[in-house]
Amino acid sequence: MTRILYNVLGTLALILAVLGVFLPLLPTTPFLLLASACYLRGSPRMHHWLLSHRILGPYIRDFEAGMGIPLRTKLLALALMWPSLALSAWIMPVVWARWLLLIPGVGVTIYLLRLPTRTPKAP
């Protein structure tokens, strides 16, 4: 029963991680790491699939190894997040709620800047 629960939670976290790639206020990395942890306990086959995934796998492996994320990824995340937050604030009809968008923006920015930056591998 617990294996099924871990697999369901892992799948839900993976769906949220993929959505987080496209939605600025939904973080990708925490959900991706949660999916990896859930699949590790629920389905070794799914965990192996996730780690060997062409796009998602390197991020999980490097993060778990303490290597951090590439500088390009950090810059891209910030470059997409802040204009999205600004557009959301501009569209939002409730003036005081616009300021609330700074909370996730500043939080994610601090989180990304504190993560180790992966250095390019020497050829």
- Place 38 in a pLDDT band, splitting at 50, 70 and 90: very high
Cα 119 to Cα 69: distance, rounded to the nearest angstrom: 9
CB 36 within 8 A of CB 47: yes
Has residue 13 got a pLDDT over 90? yes
**Residue-range definition of the domain harbouring residue 6:** 2-67
Q: Give the helix ranges, DSSP H, for 23-70.
A: 29-42, 44-51, 56-64
Mean pLDDT of 35-59: 91
Mean pLDDT of 11-34: 84
Q: What pTM was computed for the model?
A: 0.63
Q: Which tens digits make up the pLDDT trace of 94-106?
A: 888 889 888 988 9
Of 13, 6, 4, give the one whose Cα is nearest residue 60: 13
Cα 12 to Cα 14: distance, rounded to the nearest angstrom: 5
Contacts of 115 (CB under 8 A, 6+ apart): 68, 69, 74
Shared domain for 53 and 80, answered yes or no, is no
Percent of the chain with pLDDT over 70: 96
Opening angle at CA 42, ends 50 and 8, nearest 5: 85
Opening angle at CA 63, ends 60 and 65, nearest 5: 105
Shared domain for 59 and 76, answered yes or no, is no
Mean pLDDT of 54-79: 83
What confidence score (pLDDT) does residue 35 get? Answer: 93
* 123 assigned to some structural domain: no
Bridge-based pairing state of the strands 69-70 and 117-118: parallel
Shared domain for 111 and 89, answered yes or no, is yes
Shared domain for 15 and 45, answered yes or no, is yes
Mean pLDDT of 60-79: 82
Shared domain for 38 and 90, answered yes or no, is no
Shared domain for 43 and 22, answered yes or no, is yes
Contacts of 64 (CB under 8 A, 6+ apart): 33, 36
Shared domain for 102 and 52, answered yes or no, is no
Q: What's the total number of domains in the chain?
A: 2
- Place 15 in a pLDDT band, splitting at 50, 70 and 90: very high
